[in-house]
């Protein structure tokens, strides 16, 4: 399926400005309301549960950052597909994008680094994605160096899913979940500041 990293980055970059806020040291856990997926075309809540995030946990250490995301359902069989896009902002003009995709063909993890609007890197050596459809989880592990070992970061995340359904025009019908906002049709949910442990 694959949501455009550039598209989501543009939609959320402004929300990720490092304004003063509460800070979490190293490890955070955020519970997201279940049943809050929405149709981006209408902004209305939909009944989809596949790809509906219920929790995100982040462990940001000196050497590694691990992001664990739990879903109500994580079905990637047949025509089902789930994407997770995570944006990470530093105090500088740099921000980083991760896109985890899972479908019947397999799992893919993409990485991008931006400085302002300029795309500067597509590689993060040793970044991994583990998808567990029994536990309904995705786990992304990456070296902290892929975030330039930034001392403080903020994060936003959006999941999306498709089940093969299409509109009358033939476009895929997508359900979205803004992980840090409950029931919102805008990509504006942002974590508090996470301080590297």
Chain-centroid distance of CA 115 in Å reads: 19
Question: Which one, of 24, 6, 12, lies nearest residue 192 by Cα?
Answer: 24
User: Tell me, what DSSP letter sits at residue 117?
Assistant: T
First to last CA, the chain: 34
Rounded mean pLDDT of 150-159?
A: 93
Mean pLDDT of 85-98: 91
Which residues make Cβ contacts (< 8 Å) with residue 131, sequence separation at least 6?
A: 74, 76, 100, 102, 107, 137, 138
Q: Is the pLDDT of residue 13 over 90?
A: no
Domain boundaries, the chain: 5-195
pLDDT at residue 24 tops 80? no
Distance CA 40, CA 141 (A): 29
* pLDDT tens digits for range 42-81: 888 889 999 999 999 999 999 999 999 999 999 999 999 9
Report d(CA 113, CA 11) in Å as an integer. Answer: 16
Above 70 in pLDDT, residue 19? no
**Nearest-5° Cα angle at 149, 30 to 101:** 55
Q: What is the pLDDT of residue 118?
A: 86
Structure tokens that stand for 144 in this block: 């902290």
What pLDDT digit, counting tens, does each position of 158-183 carry?
999 999 888 889 988 899 999 998 76
Claim: this prediction has a pTM higher than 0.85: yes
The answer, yes or no, to whether residue 135 has pLDDT greater than 70, is yes
Stretch among 43-47, 99-103, 132-136 having the lowest mean pLDDT: 43-47
């Amino acid at each position: 399926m694959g949501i455009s990293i550039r598209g989501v980055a543009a939609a959320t970059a402004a929300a990720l400005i490092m304004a003063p806020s509460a800070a979490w040291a190293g490890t955070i856990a955020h519970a997201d309301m279940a049943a809050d997926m929405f149709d981006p075309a209408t902004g209305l809540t939909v009944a989809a549960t596949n790809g509906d995030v219920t929790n995100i946990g982040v462990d940001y250490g000196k050497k590694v950052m691990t992001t664990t995301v739990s879903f109500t359902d994580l079905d990637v069989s047949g025509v089902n597909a789930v994407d997770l896009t995570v944006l990470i902002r530093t105090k500088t003009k740099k921000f980083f994008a991760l896109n985890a995709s899972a479908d019947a063909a397999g799992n893919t993890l993409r990485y991008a680094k931006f400085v302002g609007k300029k795309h500067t890197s597509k590689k993060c050596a040793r970044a991994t994605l583990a998808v567990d459809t029994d536990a309904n989880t995705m786990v992304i592990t990456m070296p902290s160096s892929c975030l330039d070992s930034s001392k403080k970061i903020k994060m936003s995340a959006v999941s999306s899913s498709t089940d093969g359904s299409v509109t009358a025009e033939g476009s895929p019908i997508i359900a979205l979940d803004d992980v840090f906002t409950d029931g919102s049709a805008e990509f504006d949910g942002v974590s508090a500041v996470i301080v590297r442990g």
